[in-house]
Amino acid sequence: MGGQYRITGDKYPRMRPPRRRGRLVLIVTASVVVIGVLSWGTLQLVDVFTGGREASAAGTKADCATKVSPSPSAAVAVPRPGAVTVNVLNATTRSGLAKKTADELKKRGFRIGEVGNAPKQWDKKVKGTGLLIGPVSAVNTSLPVLGTQLPAAGRSTDAARKGQAVDLIIGDGFKELAEKPVADRALAELAAPRPAASGVKAGC
């Protein structure tokens, strides 16, 4: 070797073999696949022991559309005219009006109580066709039934009133009661059962 060969430069040859990048990529990919498989298996075990699938099925059924089917039910239990006592009072200057009206109501099945002139607080002070007054309990019972005979009449309640009788105070605008066929039809509609929505779950 003598002095024929000299080492020049500041870099020395690397003696280790070159890195194999392909093997490194393969190892990383295999690791990711193994982790994914383990995760999926864990989820399956959780479903088995917690009933996850059954809960999911139950949730699906609960989300099914609900069909609404009408079922007849009476909106208000209205009394028959024979169970309603009416006091017919005349607040106008026309004589005989209270008796005539009371006779017609009696023919239509109502029970008649007092017939005469209206008390001072109402005498000549009712400008419309009439005024129906009853106890608070009559709001959805007797007053609507009597109202079918005189639809345009006003309605009022008296908390201090005793008994279940209702007053028909005839006003200046009164001409006559509603025609009997019209009143009968209104009474039938009032007492007719109305459809109430009831939920029925549809099959999924």
Q: Write down the pTM of the prediction.
A: 0.60
pLDDT in tens, 60-70: 444 444 444 44
pLDDT in tens, 22-48: 666 667 676 766 676 566 656 665 555
Count of CB atoms situated within 10 Å of the CB of 85: 16
Q: Which residue has the tokens 């194999």?
A: 20
Termini Cα distance of the chain: 94
pLDDT averaged over every residue in the chain: 78
- Point out which residues pair with 112 in neighbouring strands: 86
Specify the 3-state DSSP secondary structure of 173: coil
| Residues 114, 90: Cα–Cα separation, whole Å | 11
Give yes or no for a contact between 147 and 153, defined as CB atoms under 8 angstroms apart: yes
For the residues 149-172, what does the mean pLDDT come to? 95
Q: Pick the closest to residue 187 from 153, 141, 155 (CA basis).
A: 141
The token pair at 101 is: 């009206």
pLDDT-based confidence at 118, cuts 50/70/90?
very high
